[in-house]
Amino acid sequence: MSARAHGNGYTIVENASLRGRNTFGVDARAAMLVEVTQSESLAELFGYAMLKTQDVLVLGEGSNLLLTRDWPGVALSITARGIRVLDDDGRGARIRVEAGEHWNDFVHWSLGRGFAGLENLALIPGTVGAAPIQNIGAYGVEVREFVAEVETWDRVDARFVRFGNAQCEFAYRDSLFKRERDRYVVVAVSFDLPRQRELRLDYAGVRDELAAMRVDTPTPATVAEAIVRLRTRKLPDPARIGNAGSFFKNPIVDAARADALRREHPDLPAWPGGDGGTKLSAAWLIECAGFKGVRDGDAGISERHALVLVNHGHASGAQLWALAQRVREGVRDRFGVELEAEPRVV
């Protein structure tokens, strides 16, 4: 039995299982789990010696996390929920969302109230608090386009701090909060959402899916439905087989390297990557290196999508990470391109 204690806005559990708190379904434990239902309690919690002296792992829904071992310190789970419209001028609104809200629930909340912008980000797993940390993105849209402010607990200065969009230092699947995850705990995010916005339909498959749905005049809601259908068809459901979605980032290489690769492989998908770089398809590289559908015990690469590392049942985090390393080495040997893991690997 795990020892349990309750405080004002939080619960503490000793020797806690994290198996149900990571979408890989890895059987790992934390020396201590603190579940926070009121973000105001962080000021009290971080005054305790256990959070001052031990390593702290901040958890959302564990959908962007691979645990390769037990966590010897404190796992901090932010589960505070709530959505509040701060300002609405008829053309758009600023909406404050607690970090523990489920991301996909918030997307559909926004669409149901006539707001646009988040439709391409439908069905991404995880919490609202994790969204700016990872700068989540899909089908040609990134969350940074809509983030107005991120509220955090600053562990160094022991106070709540707010960051405007520019201060978040967003980049491709990156942010200030990801680079300084041992300092800032995200407690809420405010979004500026318009009621009308030009729809993003040019990402591969979106227009075809809308056509299959017989939608002639797309709306944010129908685009979200198309995205849900695409993601459901392409990506395995974590409820059925353990995974964290796309495990590798699309690599960005310099123009010379991209030109050389495309001369050798004319069908290699590539897009502008910013700052003169070229973004390559990690899925294409992995599949061409022969890893799609590969399985080593219960650790595997999905047969449906080469970017997805999967747990077929009882793989340990170490076994999953070992297979990921094999994939990285295989792509490096074949193409001279280095892949980077998208989830946090502990």
Please tell me which residue in 173, 231, 328, 344 is annotated as part of the active site: 173
Which of 166, 187, 188, 194 has the alpha carbon at shortest distance from 94? Answer: 194
The full 3-state SS of the chain, as one line of letters, equals CCCEEEECCEEEEEEEECHHHCCCCCCCEEEEEEEECCHHHHHHHCCCHHHHHCCEEEECCCCCEECCCCEEEEEEEECCCCEEEEEECCCEEEEEEECCCEHHHHHHHHHHCCCCCCHHHCCCCCECCHHHHHCCEECCEEHHHCEEEEEEEECCCCEEEEEECHHHCCECCECHHHHCCCCEEEEEEEEEEECCCCCCCCCCCHHHHHHHCCCCCCCHHHHHHHHHHHHHHHCCCCCCCEEEEECECCCEECHHHHHHHHHHCCCCCEEEEECCEEEECHHHHHHHCCCCCCEECCEEECCCCCCEEEECCCCCHHHHHHHHHHHHHHHHHHHCCCCCECCEEC
| Catalytic residue (one of 35, 61, 142, 342) | 342
Concerning whether 329 is annotated as a catalytic residue, the answer is: no
List, in sequence order, every residue forming a beta bridge with 308; answer none if it has no partner: 246
Q: What angle do CA 258, 301, 332 make, to 5 degrees?
A: 30
Contact 167, 176 (CB under 8 A): yes
Task: Please confirm, yes or no, whether 183 is among the known catalytic residues.
Answer: no
205 Cβ contact list (under 8 Å, min separation 6): 230
> Is 180 one of the catalytic residues?
no
Catalytic site residue from 39, 77, 175, 246: 246
Residues tagged active-site: 173, 246, 342
